[in-house]
Amino acid sequence: MVFGLGSLAEAGFCAGRLGARRPFVVTDPGIIDAGWVAELVHHLRDVGLDPQVWAGVTPNPKDHEIDAALAAYVECGGDVIIGIGGGSALDAAKGVAILSGNGGSISDYAGVDRVVNPIPPLLMIPSTAGTGSDVSQFCIVTDTAHAVKMTIMGRSLVPDISVTDPRLLSTMPQDLAAATGLDALTHAVESFVSLGHNPLADGHALSAARLVAQALRRNVEAPGDEQARLWMAQASLEAGLAFSNSILGATHAMSHQVGGLFDLPHGVVNGVLLPHVIRFNAAVVPERFAVLAGAMGLPVAGVPAAEAAELLAQYVQDLAESVGAPRRLGALGVTDQDVERMSITAVRDACLATNPRPAGQDDIAGIFRESL
Crossing angle (nearest 10°) for helices 286-295 and 305-322 = 50
- CB neighbours (10 Å) of residue 116? 10
CA separation for the pair 134, 159 (Å, rounded): 6
Nearest 10 degrees: CA dihedral of 317, 323, 324, 327?
0
Q: Which of 330, 181, 355, 313 is nearest to 258 (CA)?
A: 330
| Separation in Å, CA 337 to CA 55, 143, 183, 254, 358 | 36, 21, 26, 15, 24
Classified as helix, coil or strand, 360 is: coil
DSSP label at residue 328: S
- Angle, CA 106 vertex, CA 103 and CA 110 arms, to 5°: 120
Q: Give residue 113's Cα distance to chain centre.
A: 19
Q: Does residue 169 contact residue 128 with C-beta atoms inside 8 Å? A: yes
225 torsion bin: left (phi>0), alpha (psi -120 to 50), beta (else): beta
Backbone φ, ψ for residue 283 (5° rounding): -65, -20
Domains and their CATH numbers in the chain: 2-168 (3.40.50.1970), 172-371 (1.20.1090.10)
Q: Please give the chain's pLDDT, 372 residues, in tens.
A: 999 999 999 999 999 999 999 999 999 999 999 999 999 999 999 999 999 999 999 999 999 999 999 999 999 999 999 999 999 999 999 999 999 999 999 999 999 999 999 999 999 999 999 999 999 999 999 999 999 999 999 999 999 999 999 999 999 999 999 999 999 999 999 999 999 999 999 999 999 999 999 999 999 999 889 999 999 999 999 999 999 999 999 999 999 999 999 999 999 999 999 999 999 999 999 999 999 999 999 999 999 999 999 999 999 999 999 999 999 999 999 999 999 999 999 999 999 999 999 999 999 999 999 999
Terminal-residue alpha carbon distance, the chain: 40
CA separation for the pair 137, 122 (Å, rounded): 12
Q: Which of 239, 233, 172 is nearest to 6 (CA)?
A: 233
- Angle, CA 186 vertex, CA 185 and CA 191 arms, to 5°: 105
| Separation in Å, CA 273 to CA 163, 183, 257, 317, 366 | 30, 11, 12, 9, 12
